[in-house]
Amino acid sequence: MQSSGVSYVARTAESANLVYLDNSSTTRPDPQVIRAVNTVLEHDFGNPSSLHRLGAKAERLLDESRERVAGMINAEPSEIYFTSGGTEANNWAIAGTAASFGKERHMVSTTVEHPSVISLLDHLHEEGWEITLVGVDGEGRVDPQDIMDAVTEETALVSVMFVQNEIGTIQDCREIGRRLLGLGPRRPRFHVDAVQGFARLPIDVKDWGVDLLSMSAHKIHGIKGAGALYIRKGVRLKPLVFGGGQESGLRSGTENMPGIVGFGEACRVWSEDREEVMSRLASFRKRLITGIKRAFPDAVLHGPLEEGVAPHICHFSFPGFKGESILHALEARNVFVSTGSACSSHKAKPSPVVMGLGRSEVEALSSIRFSMSRNTTEEDIDRAIEAVAESLKELSAWRKK
Q: List pLDDT tens digits, range 225-272.
A: 999 999 999 999 998 888 887 777 778 787 899 999 999 999 999 999
Q: List pLDDT tens digits, range 118-143.
A: 999 999 999 999 999 999 999 999 99
Helix (H, G, I), strand (E, B) or coil at 179: helix
Please tell me the CATH superfamily of domain 17-29+274-400, with its number: Aspartate Aminotransferase, domain 1 (3.90.1150.10)
The residues of the chain scoring below 50 in pLDDT are 1-4, 6, 8-10, 13, 345
Q: What is the pLDDT of residue 11?
A: 53
Distance CA(33)–CA(264), nearest Å, equals 9
Q: What is the pLDDT of residue 102?
A: 81
Q: Which helix (H) or strand (E) holds 388?
A: helix 378-400
Cβ neighbors of 121 (< 8 A, separation 6 or more) are 94, 107, 109, 113, 129, 131, 133, 159
Distance CA(204)–CA(306), nearest Å, equals 23
Q: What is the pLDDT of residue 7?
A: 52
Given CA atoms 72, 75, 78, 81 in this order, what sign does their dihedral have? negative
Q: Mind telling me the catalytic residues?
A: 343
Region of 161 (left: φ > 0; alpha: ψ -120 to 50; beta: rest) is beta
Distance CA(310)–CA(137), nearest Å, equals 17
Please give the single-letter amino acid code of residue 201: L
Q: What is the pLDDT of residue 3?
A: 44
Q: What is the pLDDT of residue 346?
A: 57
Asked if 167 contacts 199 with a C-beta cutoff of 8 angstroms, the reply is no
Q: What is the pLDDT of residue 12?
A: 53
Q: Cite the residue boundaries of each domain of the chain with CATH code 3.90.1150.10.
A: 17-29+274-400
Q: Cite the residue boundaries of each domain of the chain with CATH code 3.40.640.10.
A: 31-267
CATH number for 31-267 (one of 3.40.50.2300, 3.30.390.30, 2.40.50.100, 3.40.640.10): it is 3.40.640.10
What pTM was estimated for this model as a whole? 0.93
